[in-house]
Every structure is written in C-alpha cells, then in structure tokens.
C-alpha cells in the first residue's frame, strides 16, 4: 500500500495501511496519539501505537503529570524485531529524550529500508517559543528524526528552530518561505510542509513535494481561536490520504479545509483546552 510520495505501487484492491503512531499519549484531551487514532481508524487504516510519554492532560491546563517511556520503547522495539512486525507507515511526534529519538530514528531507518513511509511531526513549540520542558536537546532530537523522514510537518516556529533562522512575528515573504522549506529539506526530509505561516501578509501553508520537484503555497483564512492538537489532526488527515494514494498538494488542501470546518464548528466551546472533539466530526473525512 502506498502513495505518490515514495514511489511504491498502489495495489489494485487498495488495501488499507498498517500505521504505527510513535508519539505521546494524553489521558485528558484530544492531542497527539489520542487525536490520531480515531482519524486513522475511521479512514479504515489499521492503527498501532508506541507511546513516547504518558501525559495526564493537555499543557494549557497548567498542571499535569508525565511518565517517560524510553525503557519501554527499547524493550518493545526489541520484541517487535524478534516477532518480525512490519508497518506500511510510521508517524512520529513528541520525543521525550535524545536517547529516545535515536532509538526511534534507527528503527525508522530499518523500516524505511523495507519500504515503510516515515512521517515526522517535529513537536517543539509555537508562536516563536519552545514548549515548556523543551530545550536545545529537543531541537537536536527533532533534527535526528528529520534525517529519516520522507515527509515532515513543522509549524513556522519549529522550522525556524530546526534551521536556526530568526522567527519573525510580522511574517515572511514568499522567497523567505521557500528558502525556509529548502533549509528544512537539507536536514534530511524529502518532502516538507510548514504550517502556521504568514507569507506576504496572508496566512498560508508552504511546502515542497519531492515527487514532483515543486514548491507549493496554499492560503487559508485563520479563525482566531486556539485548540491544542490541531497540528496532529492536520498531519493525520494528510498521512491517511497519502496512504490511500492521494497526491500531496490535494491531501494538504483537504486537511486544511476539514480542519477549518472543525475549528469553526467548535470555536464557541467553553473548554478549548481539551482540544476538538474529533469523534463528532469523523464523517467529514
């Protein structure tokens, strides 16, 4: 099972993919793996998980408990190799330590050599700042992950952190956006999508499709509310559609349209810290 990006042949019967989610698991809130699982499942893919960390609730609540799982990952990957488990695609998100990132990156390299598509969301920060608990080590972790990526999904802040380019509150020009994409590509990811950009005064997603060898820019209308987990929703819809054989630009536009609709439907929710109640809207996928 495959998509345009990595040149694997689509099977005539369009079998669904086995997708492994390597990310944190949130107990209260629709972010990371808790947001990705229902999307992939509804789209018909087989979903598997490898949690990098357990988090009691989303960060905006201000108080939370966390449990890192590096030791568990090491044992799990050993057992999976012994059992010969394979996946059609792997998506990665937050990494709790450099050791964790190195183990996961090595596993992704091994799986990629067998034909697995690797999708990386370098979760680090937003609005020009690192998330609480993230530091220079986190940036090194994510550069390690990008070195094995077929496609990555940094937001504008994360792209700046990865490339050591200053963040500009006022936004950037189209030429600067293209150069930022190219610098992210030089870290290792074949294709790139950068979200949350202001480009020539307009909100937009900018990217590069290594299959077509072309850059693209897709504008959107921003809805001025904040939900945790929107990036996870966006990337999951794209991955699910790519694994179904859709082209990158089309999959990206679909994800933007669906996410815009979901944000608009929930913009008046009293508790936005929980994220978007994904299960109520899956029929739009």
Residue 244 has pLDDT above 80, yes or no: yes
Task: State the pLDDT at residue 4.
Answer: 59
The residue written with tokens 């809130």 in the block is: 29
Q: Report pLDDT digits (tens) over 49-71.
A: 999 999 999 999 999 999 999 99
From 10-14, 35-39, 135-139, 230-234, the region with the lowest mean pLDDT: 10-14
Task: Work out the pLDDT band at 3, boundaries 50, 70, 90.
Answer: low
DSSP string, the chain: ---GGGTPPPPTT-PPPEEEEEEEEEEESS-HHHHHHHHHHHTT-EEEEEEEEEEEE-GGGS---EEE-HHHHHHHHHHHHHHT---SEEEE---SSHHHHHHHHHHHHHHHTTT-EEEE----EETTEEPTT--HHHHHHHHHHHTT-SEE--BHHHHHHHHTPPP-TT-B-HHHHHHHHHHHHHHT-SEEEEEEEEETTEEEEEEEETTTTEEEEEE-PPPS---TTHHHHHHHHHHHHHHTT--HHHHHHHHHHHHHHHHHHHTT-S-GGG---GGGGGGG-
Residue 225 has pLDDT above 90, yes or no: yes
Task: State the pLDDT at residue 131.
Answer: 86
pLDDT mean over 240-246: 97
Residue 133 has pLDDT above 80, yes or no: no
Task: Work out the pLDDT band at 11, boundaries 50, 70, 90.
Answer: very low
pLDDT mean over 36-47: 98
Average pLDDT of the chain to the nearest whole number = 94
Residue 152 has pLDDT above 70, yes or no: yes
User: Would you state the structure tokens that stand for residue 72, as one six-digit string?
Assistant: 């568990």
Task: State the pLDDT at residue 135.
Answer: 87
pLDDT mean over 190-208: 98
Q: Report pLDDT digits (tens) over 97-115.
A: 999 999 999 999 999 999 9
Residue 8 has pLDDT above 90, yes or no: no
Q: Report pLDDT digits (tens) over 110-131.
A: 999 999 999 999 999 999 999 8
Task: State the pLDDT at residue 9.
Answer: 32
Q: What is the pTM of this model?
A: 0.94
pLDDT mean over 31-40: 98
Question: Who wins on pLDDT, 134 or 217?
Answer: 217
């Amino acid at each position: 099972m495959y998509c345009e990006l990595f040149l694997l042949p689509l099977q005539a019967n369009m079998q669904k993919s086995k997708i492994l989610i390597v990310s944190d698991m949130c107990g209260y809130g629709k972010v990371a793996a808790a947001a990705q699982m229902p999307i992939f499942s509804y789209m018909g893919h087989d979903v598997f998980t490898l949690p990098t960390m357990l988090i009691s609730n989303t960060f905006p609540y201000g108080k939370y408990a966390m449990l890192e799982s590096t030791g568990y990952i090491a044992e799990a990957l050993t057992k999976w190799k012994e059992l010969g488990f394979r996946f059609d695609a792997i998506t990665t998100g937050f990494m709790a330590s450099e050791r964790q990132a190195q183990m996961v990156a090595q596993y992704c390299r091994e799986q990629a050599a067998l034909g697995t598509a690797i999708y990386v969301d370098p979760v680090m920060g937003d609005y020009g700042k690192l998330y609480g608990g993230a530091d220079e080590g986190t940036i090194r972790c994510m550069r390690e992950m990008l070195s094995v990526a077929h496609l990555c999904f940094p937001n504008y802040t994360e792209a700046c952190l990865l490339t050591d380019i200053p963040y500009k509150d006022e936004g950037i020009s189209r030429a600067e956006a293209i150069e930022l994409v190219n610098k992210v590509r030089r870290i290792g990811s074949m294709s790139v999508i950068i979200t949350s950009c202001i480009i020539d005064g307009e909100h937009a997603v900018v990217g590069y499709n290594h299959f077509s060898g072309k850059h693209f820019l897709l504008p959107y209308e921003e809805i001025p509310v904040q939900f945790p987990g929107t990036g996870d929703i966006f990337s999951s819809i794209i991955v699910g559609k790519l694994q179904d054989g859709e082209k990158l630009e089309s999959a990206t536009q679909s994800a933007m349209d669906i996410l815009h609709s979901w944000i608009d439907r929930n913009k008046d929710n009293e508790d936005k810290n929980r994220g978007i109640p994904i299960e109520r809207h899956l029929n739009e996928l």
